Chains A and B, each alone.
Chain A
Amino acid sequence: MRIVVGMKWVPGTTSVRIDPKTGTLIREGVPSIVNPHDMPAVELALQLKDTYGGEVIALTMSPPPAIRGLEYLIGMGVDRAILVSDRVYAGADTLATSYVLAKAIEKIDKEIGKVDLAIFGQETIDSSTAHIGAQTASWLDWPYIYYAHSVKLIDNNKVLVERVLENAIEDWEVELPAIISTHMKALKPRPVRLINKIRYKVEKPLITWTNNDMKLDPRCTGLKGSPTIVAKTVDVPEVPRKKVVYKPKDGEDAAKWLIKTLMEDEKASKALIKALKEGGAK
């Protein structure tokens, strides 16, 4: 099996701050990481390789610092990695991103060997659209299935995918080639191995494709290929919490205290009265 796995290099959001003036992310000094939700996708790809043999190729469209993320994935056991990077890809929305990724998968298929599966993460921690898997599948006209937990090969060109939804567990037979997005809790990623890291340094199994290699129409990529318009971003300010703890004697006491405290607050009392009226109270 030849499996392509998508990786996005994202700012580690636990440490990201928003510039209060411009509303944009302050990236200065923020260390980037492999999007954590891509990890189950990588693990799934590696497990499939362990079981059925073949090759796993990591793919990212990103500026060159993402090489560190690709190195990490190679450390986990991915065989090689492709960085698709060009100025004309900058400023891409999900449509333009998925277009480039789809074209890169086609190029892998043609030049490296037949691609059976492309696996993506559920979503990213910095944009969370969960578009990329579906859109890439649409460009390629491949079947797409999301929230996958496990994948089994049932015959040469068919897999059985188990996916876990909120209210159901479903099994789908999917024809290859296909695109799968993993559920963010599907699998625990394996650690990096010393020997794989040595291999990364010795063999440099990393390819960079610019638009000279990809030969895409720049009107379909980057900012130009992005029809999405960000009309406005709203910075939701942190609500100052009062941090009061009351230890009630019983339920009645608790209710009384709560009503009394809420009524003392101007905003809360209005909301409370409105809610009570709507609920039919006098």
Chain B
Amino acid sequence: MNNLPDLPTKFDVIVIGAGPSGSAAAYLLAKKGFKVLLIERGRGLGDKNLYGGRVYAPPIREVWPELDKEAPIQRWVTKERISMVQGEKVITFEYKAEKKISFVSYLTQLSQWMSKKAEDAGALFVTEVTIDEIVMKDGKAVGVRSGPDFIEADVVIDAEGVNRLLLERLGIVERLKPDNIALGVKEVLKTGASNIESSFNVGPNEGVAWVIMGDVTKGIPGGGFIYTNKDSISMGLVLHLKHSMNFIENGKFDEHVSKLVEEFRFHPYFRPYWKDAIISEYGAHLTIEGATHFMPSKFAYPGLLIVGDAAGLLLSTGYTFRGVDYAVYSGKLAAEAVEYARNNGGFTYENLETYDKNIRRSFMYNELFKHRGAELLMNNPVMMAKYPSILMRVMEKMFEGEYTQETIYNALMQALKEEKVGPFDLISQAFGMVKSL
């Protein structure tokens, strides 16, 4: 029983990482009859609910049209809210959407659903194994190594996610810098489905995605978020690491971040939403910002395609992410390139390079560059503090006059004066903002 004579040690495609990107690629390729090995270092169990989020459905439906019916979806986002907070003053916008475009989900559960899809389609799915190296021969990826085991493949798809140790080892990308990292601190508050539906005024499968700006982060660039799961609310803060460090160095901030989340939780405006809830989970983690400098110089190398977070395909504005859908979509493009190569004479670099071209032509690539300005803006502490402040003063002057109230125009002018911003500055900055958007 000791020798392993009949075991496959050569596959058409090896996919490293069973996150959304890897599972999508593995699924589509297995369905097309490729011999696929999908390798995941985790246990492939979705026990943690902390990594929850709002996920956009349309790109994922292209791979799994059955998404809406089968996937572990907590609630569809039908209401969008944005709030600005200054002390106890709050301005909130609400948008009630018509279509079901995005949903709230626990990411581990969702990833697990996707990897199960890949396995059911015929991919050989192996968990609890870490790949140590993408093996290169004559400048071409020829397989992977884990401990003493080498497994060969025509194409390796790197779907290792944001940490990218394998790509770093190959010299394709550099180590993460604090400029590109944000700290997320989060709590899951169990409150019950009916509480959520009555306090947010939503239907049984509907929910809210809520972004909060202003004081909740004590002026540190970043923001707060709230979204509704089936019977719990996820809430927390995202803080840009570089700015947090500056704030701490300048003595502008000396509290533990958990304290900030606690203050947010006790804020009189938000607190009623989770009245009587119990904290069922809490934690912190790092996320990526500014993905455009995070991209490798190419998405395809000989024998190697890079997908998902590893490819820097993650749109993050600080408190909303489009990571899962981008990951799935890039997995789809990778699978299509592999299929194209098979049908057009083999897995040459020329053929695989169609993946690189298709990424650059895709909506994702455009979006990432389009939103670069917004990222810069959100990263600017002055802008982040000034505009909510001005708006807040305007509101105050318009509505909180005890006997008299200001016209909008006067309220705005006075507010600008009090905030020491000239009307011209406002216009030019607003213009700059619009341009960068």
Partner of B126, one of A30, A68, A198: A198
Contact of A197 among B2, B128, B148 (CB under 8 A): B128
* Residue of A whose beta carbon sits closest to that of B127: A197
Known: A31-B47, A195-B9. A75 touches B128 (CB 8 A): yes
Is B137 at the interface (CB under 8 A from chain A)? no
Q: Are A193 and B148 in contact (CB under 8 A)?
A: yes
Partner of B129, one of A30, A192, A202: A192
- A2 vs chain B, min Cβ distance (A): 10
**Does any Cβ of B come within 8 Å of A146's Cβ?**
no
A86 to chain B, nearest CB (A): 25
Q: Determine if B97 is an interface residue (Cβ-Cβ < 8 Å).
A: no
Decide: B124 and A198 in contact? CB cutoff 8 A: yes
For the complex, give the distance between the alpha carbons of A203 and B128 in Å.
18
Cβ of B138 within 8 Å of any chain A Cβ, yes or no, is: no
From B1, B37, B45, B146, give the contact of A193 (CB < 8 A).
B146
Main secondary structure of the interface of B (DSSP, over half): loop
A49's contact among B2, B9, B39, by CB below 8 Å, is which? B2
Q: Are A197 and B126 in contact (CB under 8 A)?
A: yes
Residues of A contacting B: mostly? helix
Whether A202 contacts B43 by the Cβ 8 Å rule is no
- B1 x A55 contact (CB < 8 A): yes
> Residues 1-37 of chain B: 1 if any A CB is under 8 Å from the residue's CB, otherwise 0?
1101011110000000000000000000000000001
Residue tally, chain A, CB below 8 Å to B: 22
State the CA gap A197–B124 with chains docked (Å). Answer: 10
Flag if A197 contacts B129 (CB, 8 Å). yes
**Which residue from B4, B6, B126, B148 sits with its C-beta under 8 Å from A201?**
B126
Is B401's CB within 8 Å of the partner chain A?
A: no
Chain B residues in 8 Å Cβ range of A75: 128-129
Set of chain A residues within 8 Å of B45, measured between Cβ atoms? 31, 68
> Is A64 an interface position by the 8 A CB rule?
no
Q: Which residues of A contact B8 (CB under 8 A)?
A: 198, 202
Chain B residue nearest to A78 in the complex (CB): B1
| Residues in chain A near residue B149, CB distance under 8 A | 193-195
A199 within 8 A of B: yes
Write out the residue numbers on chain B whose beta carbons fall within 8 Å of the beta carbon of A193.
Answer: 129, 146-149
Smallest Cβ distance from A280 to chain B, in angstroms?
Answer: 50
Instruction: Say whether B7 contacts A199, CB under 8 Å.
Output: yes
Chain A nearest Cβ from B368, distance in angstroms = 34
Residues from chain B with Cβ under 8 Å of A195 in the complex? 4, 7, 9, 149, 151
Q: Mark B120-139, 1 if CB is under 8 A from A, else 0.
A: 00001111110100000000
| Residue A79 is within 8 A (CB to CB) of chain B in the complex | yes
- The complex places the Cα of A197 from the Cα of B47 at a distance, in Å, of 22
**A20 at the B interface (CB under 8 A):** no
User: Is A72 interfacial (CB 8 A cutoff)?
Assistant: yes
Chain B residue with the shortest CB-CB distance to A80: B1
In the complex, are the beta carbons of A31 and B147 less than 8 A apart? no
Question: In the complex, what residues of B have CB within 8 A of residue A199's CB?
Answer: 4, 7
Please indicate the chain A residues that have their CB under 8 angstroms from the CB of B131 in the complex.
194
Residue of A nearest to B45 (CB): A31
**Bound complex: CA A29 to CA B6 (Å):** 38
Are B7 and A79 interface neighbours, CB within 8 A?
no
A80 proximity list for chain B (CB < 8 A): 1
Contact, CB under 8 Å: B124 / A201:
yes
Which of A72, A193, A198, A202 gathers most chain B CB within 10 Å? A198
> Which B residues touch A29, using CB under 8 A?
47, 49
Give B39's nearest chain A residue, CB to CB: A194
Instruction: For the complex, give the distance between the alpha carbons of A103 and B101 in Å.
Output: 57
Q: Distance in Å from the Cβ of A43 to the closest Cβ of chain B?
A: 16
Shortest CB distance B133–A (Å): 12
A53 adjacent to B2 (CB under 8 Å): yes
Contacting residues, chain A, for B126 (C-beta < 8 A) = 194, 197-198, 201
Cα(A55)–Cα(B124), bound, Å? 25
Q: How far is the CA of A68 from the CA of B129 in the complex (A)?
A: 14
0/1 string, A25-62, CB within 8 A of B gives 1: 00001110000000000000000010001010000000
Is the Cβ of A191 less than 8 Å from the Cβ of B147?
yes
In the complex, chain B residues whose CB is within 8 Å of the CB of A194: 39, 126, 129, 131, 146-147, 149, 151
A198 to B7 alpha-carbon distance, docked (Å): 7
Looking at B6, B9, B146, which has the most chain A CB atoms within 10 Å of its CB?
B146
Give chain A interface residues in 163-202, CB to chain B under 8 Å: 191-195, 197-199, 201-202
Measured CB to CB, the nearest residue on chain B to A197 is B126
Q: How far apart are A73's CB and chain B's nearest CB, in angstroms? A: 11
Q: Which one of A29, A49, A201 has the greatest number of beta carbons of chain B within 10 Å?
A: A201
- Contacts A197-B126, A199-B7 supplied; 19 other A-B pairs, CB < 8 Å: A31-B45, A53-B2, A55-B1, A68-B43, A75-B128, A80-B1, A192-B128, A192-B129, A193-B129, A193-B149, A194-B131, A194-B149, A195-B9, A195-B151, A197-B128, A198-B37, A201-B125, A202-B6, A202-B7
Q: What residues make up the interface of A, taking CB atoms closer than 8 Å to B?
A: 29-31, 49, 53, 55, 68, 72, 75, 79-80, 191-195, 197-199, 201-203
14 residue pairs from A and B, CB less than 8 Å apart: A29-B47, A31-B43, A75-B128, A79-B1, A192-B128, A194-B129, A194-B147, A195-B149, A197-B127, A197-B128, A201-B125, A202-B8, A202-B124, A203-B7
Binding site for A on B (CB under 8 A): 1-2, 4, 6-9, 37, 39, 43, 45, 47, 49, 124-129, 131, 146-149, 151
Closest 3 CB pairs of A and B: A194-B146, A194-B149, A197-B126
